[in-house]
Structure 1
Amino acid sequence: MYSKQEASQLRQEFWTAFGQYMSPVLSGEGEKINWINYKTGEKDIYFRMNADNKKASIGIELTHKDADIQALYFEQFKQLKSLLQNALPGKWTWLLHARNEQGKTISRIYTEIENVSIFKKDDWPQLISFFKPRIMALDEFWSTAKYVFEAMR
């Protein structure tokens, strides 16, 4: 078991290592990008990567305060589902309403792997191999799809 400080340090070490690993990789539009803190450019649409002591996940989170607008965004993603599935490897889960760690209602489109731990350095290559192609695929998808959401502003 790790102390809170040790756990925090290991998380920071992993994300720093992942960031350094991804640093030379350019976005789908050929630009330098911060992969860990990916900016979609749209308020309330986020690409999130998470890892803990049991699993890792990556996905799209819709966090608009207005449930109707959040549902509208989710519906728009459903309209783009074939484009999304063509870009993203594996099976993705679609949840119109879920609760995040703060108890806020969000919508999520995500995939995850189990039996990996951010606290085991031996698992880091597996975590990187999970995150890298998926965040790059999300970026590629977003380079086409973002214009639909810009029109919704």
Structure 2
Amino acid sequence: MYTKNEVSKTKQEFWTAFGLYMKPVPSSEGGRIHWQNYKTGIKGIYFRMKAERDFASIGIEIVHSDPDIRQLLFDQFKQFERILNSTLGESWDWQLHAAGDAGQTISKIEKRLERVNVMDESEWGTIISFLKPRIIALDDFWSNMKYGFEGLV
């Protein structure tokens, strides 16, 4: 069992390593980007990556507090689902009503890698290899499709 401090320290070290690994990778628009804290520029839409003790995940989270706006944003992503799947090279799990980290209702579109452990440094390469192409693909998708979300919120 790990202490909270050990988990926190290891996760911080992982995300620092991930950031250093991704630092030379430009955004699809050619600029510098802080990959692990991706800014979509649209209120209530976040690209989240997680590395935990039993899984890693990457996803689009729609966390707007107004359920009608959350539904509108989710439906807009649904309109672009074929483009998203094509850009990602795979389909992800779509959930209109999911529980957020703070227990609130959110919507999310997510891909998970099961049975990996961020606490095992020997698995970091596997986790990074899972996250890297997907966050780059999300960035590519977003640079072409974010205009379809402007003005909805």
Sort the TM-score into its range (normalised by shorter chain).
over 0.9
How far off is 1:101 after superposition? Answer: 1.8
Query: In structure 2, how many angstroms separate the alpha carbons of the residues matched to 1:104 and 1:112?
Result: 20
| Paired residues of 1:89 and 1:134 also in contact (CA < 8 A) | no
Correspondence for 2:41: 41
Correspondence for 2:93: 93
Correspondence for 1:75: 75
**Gaps spanning 5+ residues in structure 1: where?**
none
Once the two structures are superposed, residues 32-61 of structure 1 have per-residue CA deviations (whole angstroms, 9 ceiling, x without a partner) of 000000000111000000111100110000
Query: In structure 2, how many angstroms separate the alpha carbons of the residues matched to 1:26 and 1:12?
Result: 22
Q: How does 1:1-153 map onto structure 2 within 5 Å?
A: 1-153=1-153
How far off is 1:91 after superposition? Answer: 3.3
Query: In structure 1, how many angstroms separate the alpha carbons of the residues matched to 2:152 and 2:91?
Result: 27
State how many pairs are aligned.
153
Task: Report the TM-score when normalising by structure 2.
Answer: 0.98
Letter in 2 for 1:7: V
Letter in 2 for 1:62: I
Secondary structure of 2:36's match? coil
Query: In structure 2, how many angstroms separate the alpha carbons of the residues matched to 1:147 and 1:96?
Result: 22
Query: In structure 2, how many angstroms separate the alpha carbons of the residues matched to 1:70 and 1:91?
Result: 21
Letter in 2 for 1:147: Y
Secondary structure of 1:61's match? strand
| Paired residues of 1:87 and 1:140 also in contact (CA < 8 A) | yes
**Gaps spanning 5+ residues in structure 2: where?**
none
Q: Which runs of 4 or more aligned residues in structure 1 lie more than 6 Å from their structure 2 counterparts after TM superposition? A: none
